[in-house]
Homo-oligomer: A and B are copies of this chain.
Amino acid sequence: MTAVETAIERLSLTNSHLNQTSLPATNLKKNPSVLSITALQDPYKVCVIGSGNWGTTIAKVVAENTNNYPQLFQSKVDMWVFQEQIDGRNLTDIINTQHENVKYLPNIKLPENLVANPSLLDAVNDADILVFNIPHQFLPRIVQQLKGNIKKTARAISCLKGFEVGKNGVQLLSDYITDQLDIQCGALSGANLAPEVALEHWSETTVAYNLPFDYRGEGKDVDHKVLKALFHRPYFHVSVIDDVAGVSIAGALKNVVALGCGFVEGLGWGNNASAAIQRVGLGEIIKFGQMFFPESKVETYYKESAGVADLITTCSGGRNVRVAKMMAETGESAEYCEKNLLNGQSAQGIITCKEVYEWLSTCDKLDEYPLFTAVYRIVYEGLPMKNLPDMIEELEYFNFV
């Protein structure tokens, strides 16, 4: 057996219960819910823009579903791949013959209907649904190339984490895509460490999408049911909601909270302290949402996978925690720790905490976000992180009368 075959064998054993089509005898539910959905005359063509670790994983999920539901989707999914040479071969050729992204998602078998395409414009040509899954910093350039080259009726989902913070305010990346390309765009985010999703270990996610003003009606346009069918897998449970802002804000700010968790972990303060940071962080995320995106719902933050669950997963490990922990243990700068640990990649929280700090400073709201402020000052101004408890809660003094 090849390594890939071994991986498939192992996966199918581990997850056999998830792939069965009939209801398991032990299922507690007597009545699984049935979604009625209108079959399409012209099934949607789907394109995934991006092919990194998370991009390829989402493309796998999507291609499994387009193959499952010919009533809704054309089976073939184009995945735009930034062309690279691997041992003298095009990465796209390897993906299209071996059905494996050997560079960014090795040892995971990809569906044969997922086709790697090195041409961005060819990949998006005729696509009805665009799934964006590229590093944040590439978005402006990609969007520039797409202008005028996509279907006017296309809809989009952004899997990018975060938002743009500028002097004029906070802009959701989905809104940026809508503004630039004039197509409706939602967001997908959740407690989704990519390698675990790729291995088909059970997880949950949240898709947020608002029907646009020019919604063409059921059976003629993308809606919540179509998105459920596109992303839901037995191992990847999808909840579809309206709150694009809430999903995006939680996805961006969790990385700042994760830095705080890394600090207390590196100081050796243990689980109580890390849980306290997450509690305070959740509160500041909710407040940020309420203050700057009043249309976002408090419930999204504590009920959805994109909210509290993603916060918990992110704070239990990952780049931001590792960088902050090393800062605490060595006393070195964020820059030094990033370089040493991440091999040229960045910890998103380092960038986001600066953007958030500058924005809150512009609004004169720093006092209301003591954790976000403290994380910024530790990272950029060298404040001692052992003062975190005092920085995030006012000390109370008793005045006896």
Contacts and interface: CB of A to CB of B under 8 A. Distances in A.
Interface of A: 14, 17-18, 23-24, 26-29, 31-39, 69, 71, 191-193, 196-197, 201-204, 225, 228-229, 232, 234-235, 237, 264, 268-276, 278-279, 282-283, 301-305, 307-310, 312-313, 316-317, 366-367, 370, 373-374, 377, 383-384, 386-391, 393-401
Contacts of A313: 271-272, 274-275
Given A191-B276, A204-B276, A264-B202, A389 B234 contact: yes
B272 A193 contact: yes
A17 B386 contact: yes
Nearest to A304: B279
A24 B387 contact: yes
Contact of A28 (B197, B274, B374, B397): B374
Nearest to A366: B28
Given A278-B308, A391-B28, A398 B35 contact: yes
A396 B34 contact: yes
Given A17-B390, A373-B28, A317 B191 contact: no
Contacts of A235: 389
A305 B37 CA distance: 43
Most chain B CB neighbours (cut-off 10 Å) among A36, A237, A268, A271: A271
A246 to B, nearest CB: 14
Contacts of A17: 384, 386-387, 390
A302 B250 CA distance: 15
Closest 7 CB pairs of A and B: A203-B272, A279-B309, A191-B275, A302-B302, A275-B309, A275-B313, A275-B312
Given A203-B273, A302-B302, A316-B316, A387 B35 contact: no
A54 to B, nearest CB: 12
B271 A191 contact: yes
Contacts of A395: 23, 27, 29, 32-33, 234
A396 B27 CA distance: 13
A35 B396 contact: yes
Nearest to A16: B386
A396 B232 CA distance: 9
Nearest to A28: B391
A393 B393 CA distance: 38
A234 B390 CA distance: 8
Given A273-B196, A401-B38, A387 B228 contact: no
Given A27-B391, A235-B389, A312-B275, A282 B302 contact: yes
A390 B270 contact: no
Nearest to A68: B398
Contact of A202 (B225, B374, B389, B397): B389
A18 B389 contact: yes
A32 to B, nearest CB: 5
Most chain B CB neighbours (cut-off 10 Å) among A283, A308, A398: A398
Contacts of A34: 396-399
A384 B26 CA distance: 8
Most chain B CB neighbours (cut-off 10 Å) among A26, A317, A367, A383: A26
Given A202-B389, A370-B28, A400-B71, A283 B303 contact: yes
Contact of A37 (B275, B374, B393, B400): B400
